[in-house]
């Protein structure tokens, strides 16, 4: 309430203020600039602010709201929506967003792309004999081994059940 941004983040040495000013200058032609910005902190989690800047008759009004909690909540929901809770692998939902862009990048670069689909045969028998805990442990181990087996830039995706794409 009535505080200067410099007093809130005076020890910060990053260039977020400069980036913000450049974005504002672009938006000042309209007279109003509104955006969410991420403010880095040395040795602490970043903060998020919702900024609204209004330029009128040579005066500038800036209002900032701390939206860090709501951003963190949104990021957590997005992570949960894109990750298989059992294996920690990206899930089918993540893949449907990622795959079209990856195919387009491969086409634009005139290069090939490989997609490997793996289905664990007899997985139902594992669940029936070792129980769901045993089946879950097998899926976690398979996911871990596949992630280790592929290059870091590659993705292993859990489609659900016993199906994996690598």
Name the active-site residue from 12, 36, 128, 162: 162
Which range (23-32, 46-55, 65-74) has the least confidence? 23-32
Q: Is the pTM of this model over 0.75?
A: no
Question: Mean pLDDT of all residues in the chain?
Answer: 83
Question: 62 pLDDT band (50/70/90 cuts)?
Answer: confident
Do the strands 59-66 and 117-119 form a parallel or antiparallel pair, or are they unpaired? unpaired
Rounded Cα distance between 74 and 1, Å, is 25
Rounded Cα distance between 166 and 147, Å, is 8
Confidence check: pLDDT of 8 > 80: no
Region 127-140 average pLDDT: 90
162 is an active site residue = yes
> Residue 90 in contact with residue 146, Cβ under 8 Å?
no
Question: 24 pLDDT band (50/70/90 cuts)?
Answer: low
């Amino acid at each position: 309430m009535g505080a200067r941004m410099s007093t809130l983040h005076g020890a910060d040495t990053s260039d977020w203020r400069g980036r913000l000013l450049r974005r504002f200058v672009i938006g000042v032609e309209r007279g109003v600039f509104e955006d969410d910005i991420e403010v880095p902190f040395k040795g602490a989690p970043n903060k998020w602010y919702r900024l609204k800047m209004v330029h009128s008759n040579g005066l500038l009004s800036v209002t900032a709201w701390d939206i860090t909690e709501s951003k963190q909540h949104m990021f957590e929901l997005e992570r949960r929506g894109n990750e298989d809770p059992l294996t920690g692998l990206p899930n089918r939902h993540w893949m449907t967003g990622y795959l079209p862009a990856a195919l387009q990048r491969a086409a634009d670069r005139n290069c090939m792309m490989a997609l490997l689909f793996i289905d664990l045969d007899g997985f139902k028998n594992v669940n029936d004999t070792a129980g769901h805990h045993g089946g879950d442990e097998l899926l976690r181990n398979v996911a871990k081994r596949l992630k280790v087996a592929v290059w870091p830039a590659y993705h292993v995706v859990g489609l659900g059940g016993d199906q994996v794409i690598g």
